[in-house]
Structure 1
């Protein structure tokens, strides 16, 4: 069974076609991990959680393969990497222009619409460089 994924445009596309369109060979492991990733709609997931979900779904895959696949999907534009701090990274299935809240204590990431954050001024990019994207992560916690 190849899972259908719904993109933000509302288009349905099967996982194999999505991988091929992104320039990735649809190996058994990539297809299985993509089905797990995209079958639940837009979400933020760590490599460790995806590995747990793969194990629960009887997908034989190592944590190293999960990391490699997530980075390949990110490079191909299928995921966005959301770096929370030096040792915690989430992968976002929503690749549209938006930002994030990080809920401390819950280790949970939720979206902020792109128009929900205003950036007043950006520094000039270094010589020979261009600004590709600005990622804003707003850390929140319950009031004490």
Structure 2
């Protein structure tokens, strides 16, 4: 578990969680964090979070949702999962793990446990370091 993920689980409220992650707990950040983290581990797009916010009567624009999700990601509270460079999901589980992408449903789910083995990782280019290896396994219902 990352240090920031550990902070998330120790916090008693989202304002405290945001402060411990180095973010000022503005009204919009607190409202979005409550929507994000109150339902356990999940994968959510900015559009879906915006829909949830509108449904919860949180006055926030889609642009603010995007900005807030990226701020949460930079602070280590979320993990970004990019699918084909066209669709991005945000994962509240920041631990090292991999994902299934269910085609046709546009849904991301965690691959349980040690479901993926990585034999070797190429050496990073000069002056660079490998930060993380993300594996996304695309699945669909059998025909």
Task: Provide closer, same or farther for how the CA distance between residues 19 and 12 of structure 1 changes in structure 2, counting only shifts above 3 A.
Answer: closer
Counterpart-to-counterpart distance in 1, 2:81 and 2:99: 8
Query: Any idea what SS the aligned residue of 1:130 has?
Result: coil
User: 5 Å matches for 1:1-144?
Assistant: 11-113=10-112, 115-144=114-143
The alignment's TM-score, normalised by the length of structure 1, stands at 0.91
Aligned to 2:3: none
Distance 1:11 1:52 in 2: 28
Structure ranking higher in strand proportion: 1
Report the Cα distance in structure 1 between the residues aligned to 2:64 and 2:112, rounded to whole angstroms: 31
SS at match of 2:111: strand
Indicate the structure whose relative CO is greater, using CA pairs within 8 Å and at least 6 residues apart: 2
Q: 1:85-119 CA deviation, whole Å, 9 max, x = no partner?
A: 12100000000110000000111110013522111
The TM-score with structure 2 as length reference comes to 0.92
Q: Distance in 2 between matches of 1:47 and 1:29?
A: 14
Unaligned stretches of 5+ in structure 1? 1-6
In structure 1, C-alpha distance between the alignment counterparts of 2:8 and 2:37, rounded to whole Å = 15
Q: CA RMSD in A?
A: 1.8
**Alignment length (residue pairs):** 139
